[in-house]
Amino acid sequence: MQRSRLTNNYSISKIIKGGWQLAGGHGQINSDQAIADMFDYYDAGITTFDCADIYTGVEELIGKFLGQLRAQRGISEANKVQVHTKYVPDLQTLSTLTASDVERVILRSMRRLEVERLDLVQFHWWDFSIQRYVEVALMLSDLQKKGLIRHIGLTNFDPVHIQELKEAGVNPIVNQVQYSALDRRPEKSLQAFCAKNEMTMLCYGSLAGGLMSDQYLAKSEPSKEAMSANRSLIKYKLIIDELGGWAQFQRLLRKLHKIGASRSLSISEIAMLYVLSKPDVGAVIVGARNSQHVSSIPKLAQQNLSHGEIAEIERTLHQASLQGDVYGLERTNEKHKGIMKYNLNKE
């Protein structure tokens, strides 16, 4: 597995094991199997795991995995794991948060994960019209100085608001954003900002919740009922609708399939390679619920798409693009806002 160096002394696997699909709203989870899958990812060289304080039960699952890894293989092996969590304060608390509130949640994440320091805390802010995000980010910086947090990152921030944080003295090393062959909003301004400011993008949604796969090639548009048990499918189907609908999406799948066939790779693998081939991308977050295809992933991170292949993919949707900057639709459009859960950070 290839690695990305985020700082002089901190590197991660180029594929990150995502945790959102293990949270509520994605179907039943078998805890023992989920932990066994984490061992499979680790053994494949995927040492970096992504979660959040609002992903119900996921920090605890990773904490149990780390505990078992220490017990079975020793502390030195467990120390090879990087766990990236998020600090996502509830929308209803944004105007009243205190430093003790922030510290309480960070300490809770540490207990859940069974660690003495959080490797990376990615900060999300629901509503920029509540202008306390700089103040709260500085609270996280204070906890970093106290040794509770190793690195600070962001999630779903645009360059304008990142610049505000940097000018206040916050030093985020990554920004986690949605980036895929469907969603190229990071290319509007974030990519150039990252290059100029030595930041790295960690990318989710690269497989559109599993919709960008051979499973959906040449298939009829799924019904709302078929997607109702999985929030990821609902979320990314809205993106497909914004880009012109299912017929347009099938054109993209056919193009990914054609390029994949020439390389003996699947649609999903080409979709991941597309993002990994982009500048200033440090890693792709894979949210698979199990480790069924994990054995092929390490080899994938050692490849790149050619400029010609990237251009072919982008020509397929050249007349369709999402409005606004990163996460703009999700902040302002009622359909996209409707699938968000804004107040999950309670005890």
pTM, to two decimals: 0.95
Specify the higher pLDDT residue, 29 or 147.
147
346: Cβ contacts below 8 Å, ≥ 6 apart: 90
Whether the predicted pLDDT of 61 surpasses 60: yes
pLDDT > 70: what percent of the chain?
96
Average pLDDT over residues 256-268: 95
Quick one: pLDDT band at residue 27, thresholds 50, 70, 90? low
Whether the predicted pLDDT of 173 surpasses 60: yes
Cα 159 versus chain centre, distance: 18
Quick one: pLDDT band at residue 345, thresholds 50, 70, 90? confident
Lowest mean pLDDT among 19-28, 179-188, 305-314, 327-336: 19-28
CB atoms within 10 A of CB 294: 20
Domains of the chain as residue ranges with CATH: 10-337 (3.20.20.100)
Whether the predicted pLDDT of 290 surpasses 70: no
Specify the higher pLDDT residue, 142 or 341.
142
Interatomic CA distance for residues 343 and 347, integer angstroms: 11
Query: Per-residue b/e over 60-84, b at no fewer than 16 CB within 10 Å?
Result: bbbbbbbeebbeeeeeeebeebbbb
pLDDT at 248: 94
Whether the predicted pLDDT of 287 surpasses 80: no
pLDDT digits (tens, 9 = 90+) for 315-326: 998 877 898 999
Interatomic CA distance for residues 121 and 152, integer angstroms: 5
pLDDT digits (tens, 9 = 90+) for 162-171: 999 999 999 9
Whether the predicted pLDDT of 299 surpasses 80: no
pLDDT > 90: what percent of the chain?
80
Q: What is the mean pLDDT of the chain?
A: 93
Whether the predicted pLDDT of 230 surpasses 90: no
pLDDT digits (tens, 9 = 90+) for 45-58: 999 999 999 987 89
Residue pair 152/10 in contact (Cβ under 8 Å)? The answer is no
Lowest mean pLDDT among 13-22, 126-135, 176-185, 271-280: 13-22
Specify the higher pLDDT residue, 291 or 268.
268
CB atoms within 10 A of CB 95: 10
Whose CA is closest to 252, among 164, 342, 316?
316
Average pLDDT over residues 256-276: 95
Whether the predicted pLDDT of 215 surpasses 70: yes
Specify the higher pLDDT residue, 135 or 231.
135
